[in-house]
Amino acid sequence: MTDPAREKKPRRLVGTAAHMLGFGLLLAVAILLGKGPPVDRDDVGRVSFTEADLAQVSATFERTWGRRPTTDELRRAFDRYVRDEVLYREALARGLDRNDPVVKLSLVRKITMLGTAQAEASQPTDAELKAYFELRAERYRLPASFDLMQVCLSRDRRGEQVNNDAAELLARFRETDPGPEKLAELGDMLMLPNVVEDVSEEQLARTFGTAFRDAVISLAVGRWEGPVESGFGLHLVKITRLGPSRIPKWTAVRDRIASDMQYENRRAAEDQFYAEVLPRYQVVYSEGLGTLLGGEDGEGSPAP
């Protein structure tokens, strides 16, 4: 007859061994997670520096501080440079650059800049700028501009009498033609400028409102007109100068043309660069994604 006590001992030993093995596996996983994924030391173990690196560090210091570094400052700056390079290599070895949106965006910008460097470097000639301008002249049209004097009568202050007061004051203005120094004494709205010079249609609308701007554009130049209504009240207006909307000479907006042309050239170069790179890759969509994007299958670009 077997002793029950002796039968239980092997089970305890087996259970204990399994427990220890499981604990060891968990400990190994914890250590791996703590240290990160395995690092290929053959790729990152050797980090070489030359006199060119030292010159770069010195030049960076000089640009930042406006003077050459001392020997101690240069040594400390170079130590930081070496530290950054070593940590950068370690980060690459651990794959920390993968699936990082900030790193991804930075690399996309960098490769795009490399692909469009030639377009950025080229400077357009006068003939190219002029031709570009002539095809897009309306883009550079200057708005109409005004010099004017105005007096505003408030509806809140004068009530129903405001229309009669405006008519009487207009007749008086046409007879006496008061100068700018008299206008502040005759109006109700001190917050509004009585004299406005070289103001565009947009600026006029921002100050007095669009209804005022639209009415003023049609007024005669050189005489008191009105009343012109706005949110402030009734205005009597004299336009002293009207500069009509016009297209300037291309030389007057040369810098703006060059900037616009460079922007369009850069965008065209980006599209061209992408078109050259894309055939090297096979872009594949999952079946579900292809359906959502309107494609007929799961491979290639979605259907337009």
Mean pLDDT of the chain: 81
Helical (H) or strand (E) element with 73: helix 71-93
What is residue 36's predicted lDDT score, i.e. its pLDDT? 43
For residue 233, being part of any structural domain is answered with: yes
What is residue 6's predicted lDDT score, i.e. its pLDDT? 46
Average pLDDT over residues 258-287: 89
What is the C-alpha to C-alpha distance for residues 27 and 242, in angstroms, rounded to an integer?
A: 85
Domain span holding position 217: 143-243
For residue 38, being part of any structural domain is answered with: no
Which of 205, 226, 243 lies at the terminal end of a domain, its last residue? 243
pTM greater than the 0.85 cutoff: no
What is residue 42's predicted lDDT score, i.e. its pLDDT? 52
What is the C-alpha to C-alpha distance for residues 292 and 300, in angstroms, rounded to an integer?
A: 14
For residue 84, being part of any structural domain is answered with: yes
Average pLDDT over residues 107-127: 83
pLDDT of 47-76, one tens digit each? 888 999 999 999 999 999 999 999 999 999
For residue 26, being part of any structural domain is answered with: no
Rounded alpha-carbon distances, angstroms, from residue 140 to 73, 117, 268: 52, 28, 22
Average pLDDT over residues 156-163: 89
Rounded alpha-carbon distances, angstroms, from residue 270 to 167, 260, 262, 276, 279: 63, 15, 12, 10, 15
Which of 84, 119, 154 lies at the terminal end of a domain, its last residue? 119
- Describe the strand order of the beta sheet including 145-153 as a list of residue ranges: 195-200, 145-153, 234-243, 224-229
For residue 288, being part of any structural domain is answered with: yes
**Total domain count for the chain?**
3
Residue 261 pLDDT > 60, yes or no?
Answer: yes
Q: What percent of the chain has pLDDT above 70?
A: 82
Residues 278, 148 share a domain: no
| More confident call, 33 vs 297 | 297
Cα-flanking dihedrals φ and ψ of residue 279, to 5°? -60, -15
Handedness of CA 106, 112, 115, 118 (dihedral sign): negative
Residue 229 pLDDT > 80, yes or no?
Answer: yes
Task: Return the structure tokens found at 205.
Answer: 């609308």
What is residue 295's predicted lDDT score, i.e. its pLDDT? 58
Residues 205, 57 share a domain: no
What is residue 22's predicted lDDT score, i.e. its pLDDT? 44
Tokens 């206008």 identify what position? 183
Start-end of H helices in 159-303: 162-176, 180-186, 201-208, 210-217, 254-277, 287-292
What is residue 9's predicted lDDT score, i.e. its pLDDT? 43
pLDDT of 277-287, one tens digit each? 889 988 787 88
pLDDT-derived band at 252, boundaries 50, 70, 90:
very high
pLDDT of 24-45, one tens digit each? 443 343 333 334 444 444 544 7
What is residue 294's predicted lDDT score, i.e. its pLDDT? 73
